[in-house]
Amino acid sequence: MNSVVGTPMDRVDGAAKVTGQARYAADYPQEGLLHASVVSSTIARGRVVKVNSEKALQVPGVVAVLDHTNRPHVSSYDDDYSDDDAAEGSPFRPLFNDRVLYSSQPLALVIADTLELARYAGSLVTIEYSQQAHQSDLLAALQQTHEAPAETPEPRGDFAGHFAGADAKVDVTYLTANEHHNPMEPHASTVCYQADGSLVIHDKTQGTQNCQEYLHNIFGLPKDKLRVKAAFVGGAFGSGLRPQYQLPLAVMAALHLKRSVRLTLTRQQMFTFGYRPRTQQRLRLGVDKRGALVAIGHDAIGQTSRFEDFTEHLVEWSGMLYQCDNVALSYRLAPLDVYTPLDMRAPGAGSGVLALECAMDELASAAGLDPVELRKRNFASHNGNEGKPYSSKELLACYEQGAERFGWARRQATPGSMRDGNQRIGWGMAGGVWEAMQMKASAKASLDSTGHLTVSSATTDIGTGTYTVMTQIAADAAGIDVGKVTFKLGDSSLPTAPLQGGSFTVSSVGSAVRQACLTLRERLIERARQQRPDLASEADTAFTLENGQVKAGKHSVPLAELLAVDPQQCLEVQVEANPDDKRKPYSTATHSAVFVEVQVDDDLGTVRVTRVVSAVAAGRVVNPKTARSQILGGVVWGVGMALHEESQTDHALGRILNHNLAEYHVPVNADIGDIDVIFVEEDDRVVNALGSKGVGEIGVVGVAAAVANAIYHATGKRVREFPITLDKLI
């Protein structure tokens, strides 16, 4: 049978998505469903003196108004609010007490017969506060920082000495903005209250079991009474890594009223929880006469909340992407009266590599080197942070193939030297890197007597193509036609899977799926040989399953006969896959080289990204079609990060104010020019048996830097505060 892994198969859930049949968390109808609406704080810090809900309760159709004084019992322990992606500290406890920790914090929940009534009644709830002074501005809190509780690599060599003696150097500071995930689907939970008091919950999440565990701990409900589902997730990008407050609030309402309840956050409320944090990053880079890096210093300060220390891998990249013996990295946090940040697509690398790769461009200028050449000269085959070789790193091929496709050789080095009418043309590039991780994961494979294979795992598909690629992996491993394979996910009752994030789903869940299906095939062959001695001498590879017959050579046996002994005539295999020990001596990562062309209007400062080439080395690509889409999406994110995205806070009010999609700008179709994706051949026998590293994050890493570097090349102007809006260019 031909392998389907590696082929550009259409998405198996494509038809459901283009016909409107795919149901997301808020799309499930439910008999007698109540609707909830959140009332949020207008102050940034203080205490709630009183929640006035009388007027709301007088509205016919309003069932209840919950606040911290009348909510059902919940745990008070920090640990119980923790989850698989929790930051260090005391997690936010919605409606727990009278403390106001940030502006727009949920303080009351109105539950009514209809969505409109809940929203209207919410507008009638007023809250009296006792207000305290707040601080929401990172730049005003740079003196009140503490070391981030992250395992930042120890300094190596003598950074200060070599930086002082470097032949060419840069010492530059960058500012990145707060950005909110803003998946198109707002966070929502539909809690279906069952007759036996158990709950079936459709939630927007990247981890159904993470949510199940969280609810179990907070409400003390047994896990078998809590089933969390997420068949379709309308994007998340990290926003679903932690259970968000709509989930416990909807559950609170359901338990309080013993009714089914839905809570969908408004778009405005999508700005009231985790986000990519604002950072200030100082980069000090030095090279010797040959252009070899002799010193790398990366000092970062990120914002966090007063209740949790959010950390991400912000500075590590500067110690691992390039060869350098003298490296000093530091990472500090500034607590503010804001919500805790949250992992957001390529967390840490998104901001950290942005700063590093802009600084590398500045260094190339300082050293009089072509930006690609500087990077090539400093290629690292070992991860300096870990002192381990990379299992594979086809980054040089990324530089070469990307540059070739882009036409980099025709670039005129002098900034401002390329133009088209009143548009200045700029060509810039940057490198990208992301870890290739693998987590423990389980999968179950089940073959029925018709020859249909159902494989399942509690992972999710946030748009990445999990349904599709797992189907492909399963089909190949089991040796079954891909049309006879179904993959099930998004249900906490399925075999254990890690959160969907970090680009490790294919590596983790895919490995489990593969193992389960290989084992299933082995067992089937074993059985066939036992039952039919005429098959005993056939090689494993000779066995096929077609039309309900297991065949090998000239012989065959009906599948139904082989499965007659199994319960429900189904052969089942469940496995748990763990990262292989052979990974241990290696460092594993994906890499990219991104080339960008921009047009900058001379007089108006407007920037158009007209052309992008992204060359990616991510091991074996399971599905070039969906993988390409991941990279395309990453590029769009990078363009947004470079030019558009910023959650703007009025620091006097401590409140984010562009909390909508008209003024929190994500790129629109017209912002995106031609994008060319190259998957560079990369053979990796170490990372996992699939040889596949994952592509969810790498597509975004480096893009914003390449855009910024292209803008410099167009204009001669280094803008070090992101996003690069036109006011910074005129």
Give the count of beta carbons closer than 10 Å to the beta carbon of residue 569: 16
Dmax over CA atoms of the chain, in Å, equals 84
Helix intervals (H) in 99-221: 115-124, 159-164, 208-219
Extract the tokens encoding 680: 């560079």
- Please list, in sequence order, all residues whose beta carbon lies within 8 angstroms of the beta carbon of residue 339, skipping any fewer than 6 positions away: 92, 101, 102, 105, 272, 273, 274, 275, 305
Give min distance, CB of 270 to another protein, in A.
Answer: 9
CA R_g for the chain = 27
From 334-342, 390-398, 536-544, 721-729, span contacting another protein (CB under 8 A):
721-729
Q: Which of residues 220-249 bind another protein (CB under 8 A)?
A: 232-237
Beta bridge partners of 35: 112, 262
DSSP secondary structure string, 449-463? TTS-EEEE-S---SS
Complex with another protein: residue 76 or 130, whichever CB lies closer: 130
| From candidates 175, 221, 397, 657, binder to another protein by CB under 8 A | 657
Q: Is 217 exposed, middle or buried (0-12, 13-18, 19+ CB in 10 A)?
A: middle
Q: Which of residues 453-492 bind another protein (CB under 8 A)?
A: 462-465
Give min distance, CB of 655 to another protein, in A.
Answer: 7
Complex with another protein: residue 126 or 496, whichever CB lies closer: 126
235: left (phi over 0), alpha (psi -120 to 50) or beta: left
Binding mask 610-649 for another protein (x = CB under 8 A): ---------------xx-xxx-xxxxxx-----xx---x-
DSSP 379: B
Give the count of beta carbons closer than 10 Å to the beta carbon of residue 674: 10
Q: How far is CA 463 from the centre of its chain?
A: 11
Q: Would you call 697 a catalytic residue per the annotation? A: yes
| From candidates 46, 94, 153, 186, binder to another protein by CB under 8 A | 186
Residue 347 touching another protein (CB under 8 A): no
| From candidates 20, 32, 421, 567, binder to another protein by CB under 8 A | 20
**Within 13 Å, how many C-alpha atoms sit on residue 364's CB side?**
25
Complex with another protein: residue 231 or 518, whichever CB lies closer: 231
Specify the amino acid at residue 357: E
| From candidates 31, 420, 683, 727, binder to another protein by CB under 8 A | 727
Complex with another protein: residue 75 or 648, whichever CB lies closer: 648
Residue 7 touching another protein (CB under 8 A): no
Residue 658 touching another protein (CB under 8 A): yes
# chain residues binding another protein, by CB under 8 A: 96
Helix intervals (H) in 332-394: 349-367, 371-377
Give min distance, CB of 365 to another protein, in A.
Answer: 26
Binding mask 402-441 for another protein (x = CB under 8 A): --------------------x-------------------
The backbone torsions φ and ψ at residue 251, rounded to the nearest 5 degrees and listed phi first, read -65, -40
| From candidates 90, 105, 182, 311, binder to another protein by CB under 8 A | 182
From 84-92, 263-271, 288-296, 553-561, span contacting another protein (CB under 8 A):
263-271
Q: Which of residues 659-718 bind another protein (CB under 8 A)?
A: 659-663, 665-672, 674-675
For residues 613 and 121, give the distance between their C-alpha atoms in angstroms, rounded to a whole number. Answer: 51
**Per annotation, catalytic residue among 179, 597, 682, 697:** 697
Residue 59 touching another protein (CB under 8 A): yes
Complex with another protein: residue 57 or 172, whichever CB lies closer: 57
Residue 104 touching another protein (CB under 8 A): yes
Complex with another protein: residue 58 or 412, whichever CB lies closer: 58
Give min distance, CB of 668 to another protein, in A.
Answer: 4
Complex with another protein: residue 562 or 675, whichever CB lies closer: 675
For residues 161 and 399, give the distance between their C-alpha atoms in angstroms, rounded to a whole number. Answer: 31
Q: Which of residues 116-155 bind another protein (CB under 8 A)?
A: 116-117, 119-120, 123
Complex with another protein: residue 384 or 702, whichever CB lies closer: 702
Q: Which residue has the tokens 């995205």?
A: 645
End-to-end, the C-alpha distance of the chain in Å comes to 61
Residue 115 touching another protein (CB under 8 A): yes
For residues 255 and 247, give the distance between their C-alpha atoms in angstroms, rounded to a whole number. Answer: 12
Q: Is 160 exposed, middle or buried (0-12, 13-18, 19+ CB in 10 A)?
A: middle
Residue 30 touching another protein (CB under 8 A): no
Residues with a catalytic annotation lie at: 697
